[in-house]
Structure 1
Amino acid sequence: MPERPPRRDDARPIPQRGGPARPNPDEDVEDDVFTVDTRGRRPGRTSRPARSARGERSQRPERPIPPTRRPDPRRQPPPGGRRPVAEPLEDQQPRPRRRRRWWRLVPLVLLLWLAFLVATPLHAWSTVSRVDAAPAGSRPAQTPGDTYLLVGSDARDDLTAAERKELGTGSADGRRTDSIMLIHVPSGGGKSAIISIPRDSYMPIPGHGSNKVNAAYSIGGPQLLVETLEQVTDLRIDGYLEIGFGGFASVVNSLGGVDICVPFTMKDKFAHINLKKGCQTLDGKNALGFVRARHSDPRGDIGRAERQRQFLGAIMKGAATPSTVLNPFRYWSFTHTAAQAVGVGKDTSLKDAANILLAMRGASNDSTLSLTVPLQDLGYRTRAGLAVKWDSERAKALFTMLREDQPLEAPPAGTDGKPSGG
């Protein structure tokens, strides 16, 4: 076996890993091109073009060297050369969700809404017109309960010619009453009562002899009407409220109409209505004709008084519905339209007005008694023409019960509007 020749001192060294081997100039080169090892090249730098044995560069174009980017300190490894290891997901505490606090605003919204419901009628009450209804003469003593006078006036002074034509009120001069009602609110138990007094009721009028009660209003206005009724009933009238033609129609329209059940077909040219029998929604014009009509009612003024009480209950029922109370625009419109449509006595308080409205509302659910003063004759002949004569004994008994604040749970005898005699 031949011996291995000894290594020369100028032998070519073995190339080290990580860099190209440089050729030895003293050694023969078989080819004038050598291979460049690029395994140790840093990223971002281009390798130099290969050199030939003659020291000339190759004809390859030089690649541009990209600009050096600054190292991102966030991506640099921390001191020590190791990044912290994230904890397992099951060991991490979940972040608490931010709960919405909108429910905390609910009490505030309710408080503001209640304040609006209370402030609106108070503001409306401050705009009502006042009427002097206190009589100048002697008056009955105070009673435990409260008695109020509600009057529907047919005055046309505040209506234009177009409104009179639309509502069918005519153009008669003067002031009369289309409806007269006494509203009694007991102080203790029992139901409130609305008592209709026919406007043709024949009775003595202080300083003017005997005449129809409607004449008292025409002669001396609210003062003489209150004085006349106090002397006949011996009841102290604690408050006065009056509403006219135009005001009545405006109140109905502010509610968007009122639901009413028409008891029979009513075609009345004097009241400008043509209504079919059945439940329906009446606007201001038809509602006014419904409560005024008497020529189309076989019971005349008595039937009209009953329809008036029925309609008062329907108005207050419509005013208390959610569609009115929960609608701020309709609620504001109704309260302020009603305030502008009525006239109240100077001594009538807001509490008195509330008692009247609550009693009217009760007429729609039978919590308020709907009565007519006991009658004896609907065609009583007088020097003022045919009038209505009361049943004196039954009427006196009814007013005694009211004066003594006796509880009423059912209509007393003779208060159904039917005359007791011929």
Structure 2
Amino acid sequence: MRRFRRLLLISLGFLVLLVALGTGGLFIYQSSLDSDIVRLPAALPTSKEEEKQRPQPKPGLGETWLLVGTDRRSEAATTGDDAKAELWQPGSQRTDTIMLAHLSEDRKHAAVVSIPRDSWVSIPGRGHAKINAAFSWGGPALLIRTIETLTGVRVDHYAAIDFKGFAAAVDAVDGVDVEVAKTVRDTNTGTTWTAGRHHLDGEQALLFVRQRYNLPGGDFGRIKRQQALLKALSDRVLSAGTLANPVKVDALLRAITKATTVDDGVSLETLRTRLVDLAGLDSSDYFTMPTKGTGMEGEQSVVYLDARKTRALSEAIKKDRAREYVERTGPGNAVDTVH
């Protein structure tokens, strides 16, 4: 019933827009949104040789996206139509957030797997290094090749958002709610998060997901915060207050299309369809790629992935069996309440 209600609200929201815009207005509106989307022609590996080395596509096993957040804290946006700084500059940027998001073939389940940015992995043509160095050295294409080599999961689409774009998306839905388990102070910014529920605007959401100092687990704690914000934003997007309000629907679509950069296989219709798919989900699960500890490689502090457990989780994603994986191993990260 809840799934049906959300789908109905999306339909009503778009219907109101259709009536308000009319045929000619709708065409202009769609063209305007589409022109806001920045597409990278070489985001996915494109050469014949690279394609031979990639996991081959297998119909009927769902769809997997690589979601990336950049840690370039410039005053200028680096993604979308508002971008004034380049998304990727060789050697100058690394990824702060790396997530594999898998949507099941029946569109009833989503699995989101965060890969710690300091994971020590094999990068094609470069040897071993932190996984976020792949983006710095070779942009999205090298990062995708690295992740596909690590997991055996084929990446179907790529989407990147920077911190400023994320804040805009949060503001477009009038903020999001998060639950903090225990009062914690960010020793870097001086911000104190008291135990209980917080309603965050875009700038506050950035402070929340950027904190790593004084968090249980450091970067692992921040990963859970990132996932909590993603879930909170999804819940807000799919709420009645957003979907039944054409003004909010418009603001949301504008924020998304202006704040993200995608591969050139992603159309406006792709994004609209995925929004409908998200509304129809029965469940979603969040994971951190399994690790076996931290250590030092030279002067670098790194995270070591657990090869066996990483392979098991990756196989579940690859074969579209994430739900069975959860039934077998137990739930992933608890993100309704975080530290």
Query: TM-score, normalised to structure 2's length?
Result: 0.77
Which residue in the other structure is 2:315 paired with? 400
Q: Residue 222 of structure 1 is aligned with which of 140, 144, 156?
A: 140
List runs of 5+ in structure 1 lacking aligned partners.
Answer: 1-108, 161-172
5 Å matches for 1:85-234?
A: 112-113=15-16, 115=18, 123-131=32-40, 132-135=42-45, 136=47, 137=50, 138-143=53-58, 144-157=61-74, 159=76, 174-188=92-106, 191-234=109-152
In 1, Cα distance between equivalents of 2:14 and 2:201: 34
Structure 1 residue identity aligned to 2:44: A
Q: Residue 161 of structure 2 is aligned with which of 243, 247, 260?
A: 243
Structure 1 residue identity aligned to 2:215: D
Q: When you count strand as a share of all residues, which structure comes out higher?
A: 2
* 1:265–1:121 distance in 2 versus 1, CA, 3 Å: farther
In 2, Cα distance between equivalents of 1:232 and 1:395: 9
Following TM superposition, by how much is the alpha carbon of 1:320 offset from its aligned partner in structure 2, in angstroms? 2.3
Which residue in the other structure is 1:371 paired with? 287
Query: TM-score, normalised to structure 1's length?
Result: 0.63
Asked if the contact 2:285–2:332 (Cα under 8 Å) also holds between the matched residues in 1, the reply is no
Q: Residue 383 of structure 1 is aligned with which of 298, 302, 306?
A: 298
SS in 2 for 1:408: helix
* 1:331–1:392 distance in 2 versus 1, CA, 3 Å: same
> Does residue 259 of the first structure (1) align with residue 177 of the second (2)?
yes
In 2, Cα distance between equivalents of 1:236 and 1:111: 32
Following TM superposition, by how much is the alpha carbon of 1:285 offset from its aligned partner in structure 2, in angstroms? 1.1
Q: When you count helix as a share of all residues, which structure comes out higher?
A: 2
5 Å matches for 1:240-319?
A: 240-271=158-189, 273-319=191-237
* 1:334–1:191 distance in 2 versus 1, CA, 3 Å: closer
SS in 2 for 1:343: strand
Deviation track 1:316-364 (CA, whole Å, cap 9, x = no partner) reads: 21122233233332221121012111111112344654576567778xx
Asked if the contact 1:273–1:290 (Cα under 8 Å) also holds between the matched residues in 2, the reply is no
Asked if the contact 1:360–1:368 (Cα under 8 Å) also holds between the matched residues in 2, the reply is no
Considering only CA atoms, is the larger Rg found in Structure 1 or Structure 2? 1
* 1:245–1:191 distance in 2 versus 1, CA, 3 Å: same
Which residue in the other structure is 1:104 paired with? none
Structure 1 residue identity aligned to 2:316: M
* 1:413–1:296 distance in 2 versus 1, CA, 3 Å: same
In 2, Cα distance between equivalents of 1:304 and 1:110: 34
Following TM superposition, by how much is the alpha carbon of 1:383 offset from its aligned partner in structure 2, in angstroms? 2.9
Asked if the contact 2:170–2:176 (Cα under 8 Å) also holds between the matched residues in 1, the reply is yes
Task: Could you list the structure 1 runs, at least 4 aligned residues long, displaced by more than 6 angstroms after superposition.
Answer: 358-362
Equivalent residue pairs, number: 295
Following TM superposition, by how much is the alpha carbon of 1:293 offset from its aligned partner in structure 2, in angstroms? 0.9
In 2, Cα distance between equivalents of 1:174 and 1:413: 39
Asked if the contact 2:178–2:198 (Cα under 8 Å) also holds between the matched residues in 1, the reply is yes
> Does residue 322 of the first structure (1) align with residue 240 of the second (2)?
yes
* 1:296–1:227 distance in 2 versus 1, CA, 3 Å: same
* 1:110–1:188 distance in 2 versus 1, CA, 3 Å: closer
In 1, Cα distance between equivalents of 2:260 and 2:14: 30
Specify which structure has the bigger relative contact order, considering alpha-carbon pairs within 8 angstroms and separated by 6 or more residues.
2
* 1:325–1:414 distance in 2 versus 1, CA, 3 Å: closer
Structure 2 residue identity aligned to 1:383: G
Following TM superposition, by how much is the alpha carbon of 1:402 offset from its aligned partner in structure 2, in angstroms? 2.0
Which residue in the other structure is 1:35 paired with? none
5 Å matches for 1:20-31?
A: none
